[in-house]
Structure 1
């Protein structure tokens, strides 16, 4: 049975040590995205590794944490202004309603946007229904 989420939810991203971070549900976006302040590809021992920092400039306690992965791709997306751009896409675990699942996020500079994290259709589909009149329903289920 699908759970109902609101237009905004707080999510936990345990691999990135981010707990209860506010995110906007965006049914117009296919892929989820997260604010990224640094991204760099490096070749190490013949393997390409992506180094990146999420939420760095929006929250001081995360500013110095650099993550890395060799499991990433690039994806062409249209940004909120309708312009095509190429972004890195990474996978990570997400926790909502005390359930853990894997989701993909594109890394992009969202410093000029109100929301640092957008949850797109690919993550929502098959798991959740959206009630746009509500917020933080995944937290209200614990009360």
Structure 2
């Protein structure tokens, strides 16, 4: 088994999302989820000329890193996703970046409403695979690395 160049990440962390201008946001590392998922306060399709754009406000005011800024996406997709409780829902998917251990990674995020859940953002296997090993006894590994 080869584990060369894989960083150890814990079960939770505080990370930044440069393209979305979000800093030190709490995330849960979720090896059971394929894609990463991000809580949005609002998600709205707007008409812009002859095309549609997606207007999003990430997080909400009770969450660390919240800015209240609107982010506009020209490119997005929709897909049916089955949640951990078995309920299928249509979600929007957008590309963005996440900063972990001083490096920036591009990945895809599903956008959803996660009010009341402990973690506003889940980082899934699509991002984690072949890059990180998960040690569930640890937390904030990337945050500690970037703030030493």
**Where in structure 1 are there 5+ consecutive unaligned residues?**
none
Offset, 1:40: 1.1
**Where in structure 2 are there 5+ consecutive unaligned residues?**
none
1:111 corresponds to: 115
TM-score (norm 2): 0.89
- How far apart are the structure 2 equivalents of 1:55 and 1:18? 9
- How far apart are the structure 2 equivalents of 1:100 and 1:63? 20
1:70 corresponds to: 74
Is the aligned partner of 1:50 residue 2:54? Answer: yes
Is the aligned partner of 1:29 residue 2:33? Answer: yes
1:11 corresponds to: 15
* SS in structure 2 at match of 1:141: helix
Moved more, 32-41 or 54-63: 54-63
Task: Determine if contact 2:33/2:125 at 8 Å carries over to the other structure.
Answer: yes
Task: Determine if contact 1:58/1:111 at 8 Å carries over to the other structure.
Answer: no
Offset, 1:3: 0.8
Offset, 1:140: 3.1
2:138 corresponds to: 134
Task: Determine if contact 1:23/1:117 at 8 Å carries over to the other structure.
Answer: yes
Moved more, 71-80 or 57-66: 57-66
What is the number of equivalent residue pairs in this alignment? 143
Moved over 4 A (4+): none
1:39 corresponds to: 43
1:87 corresponds to: 91
Moved more, 56-65 or 81-90: 56-65
Task: Determine if contact 1:7/1:133 at 8 Å carries over to the other structure.
Answer: yes
Per-residue deviation, residues 103-130 of structure 1 (Å, max 9, x unmatched): 1111111002111110111110121111
